Chains A and B, each alone.
Chain A
Amino acid sequence: MDLTFTPQEEKFRSELRGWLDANIPAAWRDPGFWRTVPDDEGFELRRDWERRKYEAGYGGIAWPTEYGGLGGTPGMKAIYDEEMALARAPLSANGLGLTFLAPTVMAIGTDQQKRDIIGPMLRNEVIWCQGFSEPGAGSDLAALRTSGVLDGDEYVVNGQKIWTTNAMHGDKLFALVRTEQGSEAHRGISMLLIDMHQPGVEARPLRQISGASEFAEVFFTDARVKASECLGGVGNGWKTAMMLLSFERGASGISQYATFRRGYDEIVAAARRLGRDTDPTLRRELASRLVELECLRYHAMHVLTQVEQGRDLGSESSITKLQWSEAYQKLFETFDHLLGLDGVVTSPVEDLDLASLQYEAFWTRSVTIWGGSSQVQRNIVAERVLGLPR
């Protein structure tokens, strides 16, 4: 066992920490800040901040330098994620592009795509959305119906996507489209890179239980996309999507721990303010939540080790997803138990603002749905890890 990072990695940490200290406005560190600015304005702030961060040398941490990345180690990426969480840095405006699309383009994109996509993404000139889910195709993604018909050197796209995160701010979509008419299931699908700023694409916001509208539905009516804007080859969309989703696997648990642990400490602080921190039943419930968070941290170190050793994580990412999402959600169930009726108002006593935690509590209801629901993850673990019959 050696749970330390290398001296170079620690040097990177202290430099990054210094930069974050100097470059995150004090107001932003207030947990309530992002709710005080209008959605559009907040998005632009994040978009701009992230671009400046890239210009300061902190973009694409583990990407090869030829793509504008830093060429860093997996350990540096883990440190980067952790420091961003600890500093309460703004959430990425381009998370889906940076996490999923960019590494896929690096792996299988054409030279033109590599040039066109990666640089502008790093500078946040193009914000990417993931257009996978449809009204009739959620967990069963292969049931998707949105169609693309070739017309000269362009596809004409018709259909609908839904739950599209950031669609109201997005510039382009990487979308799964059925380009072979009459095809079924995994066959005949292509991943098309669709410009959202055209008459045939309309995004309508959807309001979430938290009140925010982070996702939207997207309608395609004879939308057009160049045939060259197909990633991974025509008809290979399913394979491309599976590769793309595999890039979620990393050591993100280390930063998630930092975020969730802060949630735990804030919940404890709120309980103390309301004189509930001595209730023996609730103390044990809180402690059992911390057990799961600590396990997430240990698990993240295990995952990072696997990545550093060059091992294929395979279906292990389903285990990671189950652990973090369930632990996170249950932590906020305890938040409700702990505060009882006082937890239903945003400010039960003077100087105690619970709004951010309440917002987060609603958010945790979504984490067991997106990115593969908990039920789907359990199917994967049972069938692919444990070898139980389908």
Chain B
Amino acid sequence: MAETENLNETSAQIKSSKGEEDIIQIVGMHKWYGEFHVLKDINLSVKAKERIVVCGPSGSGKSTMIRCINRLEEHQQGQIVVNGIELTNDLKRIEETRREVGMVFQHFNLFPHLTVLENCTLGPIWVRHTPKKEAEESAMEYLERVKIPEQALKFPGQLSGGQQQRVAIARSLCMNPKIMLFDEPTSALDPEMIKEVLDVMIELAETGMTMIVVTHEMGFAKTVADRVIFMDEGEIIEQNDPHEFFDNAQHERTQLFLSQILAH
């Protein structure tokens, strides 16, 4: 009984806050892997153009949370509304959401059998039904923005890690998404390549893209983020603007995490 009441309450909340420009709304979301309770009562709203950095210890559920936003993972309880569409098992809604949400992965996940350019045009041509020529032109523009237009005809296997990740970013941008999700985009990269990827992300942030970035690059969080979220053991422990977050962490676990991560 109590549970159904809760649900009613949350859907009422969503309705009331519609109209405002919350582009992502997660309300009372839970997720389990079998018996394992990975995400516990996640509540998060993101405004359009907001830039959010998510951090927390390994295994705390950061990836799982952002993967719920484009339904790479299914949640079992609560609500997720993205760009006005509530995510359910309905394939139509999932596809519609994914069209507006780009994702960049830790291991790039470029398609090795396609050239850089083909990687970038695949989505626009097949999902957005853009004519091939137009898709290619716009792909070249994005490749220029991530500063590798000269690699367009190469295969991903011939590029360095940093270049591959920049292609992956361009590939997502080619879909013209409203929201970009980044899951540790720099943690598989050698130190000298991290900067080139972060630079691209900073430029992207300046264009006003809504971004949710899972990262441990605290410098990036300080310069770019509007809000930093700290997760531990499947819960959002604390969220604050970067200055408050780094200088004045409220929670003991946040302080411990920050001291560990800033130690080196």
A and B associate:
no
| Chain A contact residues, CB within 8 Å of chain B | none
